[in-house]
Amino acid sequence: MKLAIIGAVLLLAGVAGVATGVLPVDAALEVADRVWPILLFVVAITIVAELAAAAGVFDAAAARLARLARGRVWVLWSLSVLLAIVVTAFLSLDTTAVLLTPVVVAVARAHRLPPLPFAFATVWLANTASLVLPVSNLTNLLAVHTLGSPTPGEFVLLLGPSALVAIVVTVVLLWLVHRRDLRGRFSPAPDPTVSDVVLLRCAAVVVVAVLPFFVSGVEPWIPAVAAMAVMVALFAWRSPSSLRPRLVPWQLVVFASGLFLAVGVLEALGSGAVLGVLAGTGDDLVALWQVAGVGMLGANAVNNLPAYLALESVAGSPARLAALLVGVNAGPLITPWASLATLLWHARLHAVEVDVPWRRYVLLGLVVAPLTVALAVVPLALH
């Protein structure tokens, strides 16, 4: 509810800016034209992911990983890390934070393992692995428009090396921090009970079938909406009680809509000139570190989405825009509010009674975030 209230306030501020002529109506319509496909994708893929979770797809995947681990703790953790990377890349960081986190925590508890190494893996990788594809993060979808609508392959060519570096650095640091808890073996636990095998299998097919379309070059909202329609029809047939209004992420839609419009007003008032001084210019390594660093600081000070929107206009080149994405995607690992995914992650952990030591989270983030961002920017200077 707090997110929706903030979004409503921002939306009212944006409308006031349009009404007073600060933001021309044509400019506001351009913002709307840019935003609607992104928000439609977010709504559709969120509903797909929620229904897939309700069908038990993620639980079944985690149970399969536990069997593959054959009692080795480090293997189970490594497979959970791999699952977090894949889910983040194709279904977005919020899906990893909201839906995968309670699953890996449940798997850890079922096998009498400490849940924090698994929980930290989902939140760190939800952020750092969100550099892989346009659909991995809302900021990426925004950047695609500014970059001239590159294909997923072109996006990967630009940001793929940085994404790989960010993921490797994150996994290595996660392992170093939690290595003592990842030793030894565990006793296999019974597989989770499946209430509707047909629903589970059909939902799994839909999820697997839609993934290739996100790297096909088709507008992401098209396959997402198609998958949503199939999933809704499937649940209307097998489990109509699961189709509830809460499936729609309306709070996020209101927040994002208000934020887009409010940032447009700020840019019309000249915020770009001030931020341009902070972000600097140039495509050399130091200049790219500067824009990425400003993005990382902005994300941790406020939130990664407004940080990206405010700095996008001063990025100036594909390399600088990519560096900004590194800063706002891989950098929000210090403060709890740095990304929506982290807030959602914490809410899910609180719901399953897992205590997050925020002091430890912040201290680790002060090491992980700057190191990850700095190393992930390097490939952009060599591009």
Comparing CA positions, the residue from 293, 278, 363 lying closest to residue 323 is 293
Tell me what pLDDT residue 133 has: 94
Q: What is the pTM assigned to this prediction? A: 0.87
Residues in contact with 83: Cβ distance below 8 Å, sequence separation at least 6, in sequence order = 61, 62, 65, 100, 104
Tell me what pLDDT residue 340 has: 82
Q: In 337-357, which positions are buried (b, 16+ CB within 10 angstroms) versus exposed (e)?
A: ebbbbbbbbbebbeeeebebe
d(CA 110, CA 200): 21
Tell me what pLDDT residue 309 has: 85
Tell me what pLDDT residue 327 has: 97
Describe the chain by its helix, strand, coil percentages, rounded to 5.
80, 0, 20
Comparing CA positions, the residue from 92, 98, 101 lying closest to residue 122 is 101
Tell me what pLDDT residue 352 has: 80
d(CA 247, CA 43): 9
Count of positions (residues) in the chain: 383
Cβ contact 92:136 at 8 Å:
yes
Strand partners, 185: 72
- Nearest 5°: phi and psi at 185? -130, 165
Cβ contact 349:101 at 8 Å:
yes
CA angle 347, 349, 355 (to 5 degrees): 110
Cβ contact 299:373 at 8 Å:
no
Quick count: other Cβ atoms within 10 Å of Cβ 2? Answer: 9
Range of the domain at 300: 2-382
SS3 72: strand
R_g of the chain, CA atoms, integer Å: 21
* Intervals of the chain under pLDDT 70: 1, 271-274
- Nearest 5°: phi and psi at 199? -60, -45
Q: In 253-288, which positions are buried (b, 16+ CB within 10 angstroms) versus exposed (e)?
A: bbbbbbbbbbbbbbbbeebbeebeeebbeebeeebb
pLDDT per residue over 67-113, tens digit each?
A: 899 889 999 999 999 999 999 999 889 889 888 898 899 889 888 99
Helices (H) and strands (E) in the chain, counts: 18, 0
Q: How many domains does the chain have?
A: 1
Tell me what pLDDT residue 377 has: 98
List of E strands, 110-262: none
Strand partners, 157: none
Name the token pair of 107: 């798997």
